[in-house]
Amino acid sequence: MFTTASTSLKTALRPIAVSCLALSALSACVTTPQADTSVADAAPEASFSLSNAVKYQRQSKEYPLLSAYVYKQATAALPATFENQQTPAVIVLDVDETVLDNSLYQEERESKGLGYSSESWNAWIKREEATLVPGVDKFLTTVIERGGKIALITNRDKTLDSHTWNNLLAMGLPLTPSNTCIMGRLPADKEAVDHKYIVNDKDRRRNAVKQGSPACSLTNDTASEGWNKPHNIIMQIGDNIEDFQGVTQEDAYLPAILPEVGTSLFILPNPMYGSW
């Protein structure tokens, strides 16, 4: 301990001793310690303030209340049971800002003065660190407890589906290949858009669920048997108007959509990004 203290003392006094030596020709000895120029000359790190959109999702009390409220309403609109239905019923949800909250990615990018890039986005997905949108855990658990099925149709690249699964399971959701089908986007989903029967790039996958031919990731024989039959989509939930079948941002006719909102269609807040 003494050695350390002694060394520290010597180090602390060194600038003062040098000053005295340099000034020895003069009668006075200046005892002002020298400034640490290595720190003073370093360029200050740039800091970027967060947008109101990211602050709203990350910090506000309103965002979690609003999201949880939407899921509360969606839970109230569920059938009491999904058992014994002639055509199995399925709830279709988007993933990003609908099930998973990616506001940490947005915050990290903005704090560095950077925007979205597909490379950084895919790297974020691979981290599997997204949290849950408030209220979604209870909603999905209720669907499964009542014997319902869930189709997650996401525009994350199809090759990243395993990371989506891992992230969702790490969040403690009771999802299995039998009760949940995850479908990332394939090039064919975009190519199928003909602006007549397939108006947005999730329509093809919604049709596949209805027709009994969805390309579910993480499947097995039992799960395949369960999904390879016609399904009835009874509810759609998303943060973007294009999470609803047959609708585009440009052409969505809200008076036709509104009567279904709160019954079979539910929209969540996402101030950070969208097709708008």
Residues that bind Mg ion (CB under 5 A): 94, 96-97, 239
Shortest distance, CB of residue 115 to Mg ion, whole angstroms? Answer: 17
To Mg ion, the closest distance from the beta carbon of 207 in angstroms equals: 20
- The least distance separating Mg ion from the CB of residue 70, rounded to whole angstroms, comes to 13
Surface-to-core class of residue 195, CB atoms within 10 Å of its CB (0-12 exposed, 13-18 middle, 19+ buried): exposed
Cβ closest to Mg ion, residue 96 vs residue 110: 96
By the 8 A CB rule, do 235 and 266 touch? yes
**Cα distance between the two ends of the chain:** 65
- Residue sitting closest to Mg ion (CB): 96
Nearest to 154 by CA among 182, 127, 177: 182
| Nearest approach, Cβ of residue 14 and Mg ion (Å) | 60
State whether residue 238 is helix, strand or coil.
strand
- Closest by CA position to 202, among listed 113, 131, 260, 275: 275
Residue 96 or 189: the one with the smaller Cβ distance to Mg ion is: 96
Whose Cβ is closer to Mg ion: residue 82's or residue 272's?
A: 272
CB nearer Mg ion, residue 136 or residue 219: 136
Q: How far is the CB of 243 from Mg ion (least distance, A)?
A: 7
Coil, helix or strand at residue 209: helix
> Which of 175/226 has CB closer to Mg ion?
175
In the three-class reduction of DSSP (H, G, I as helix; E, B as strand; rest coil), residue 205 is classed as helix
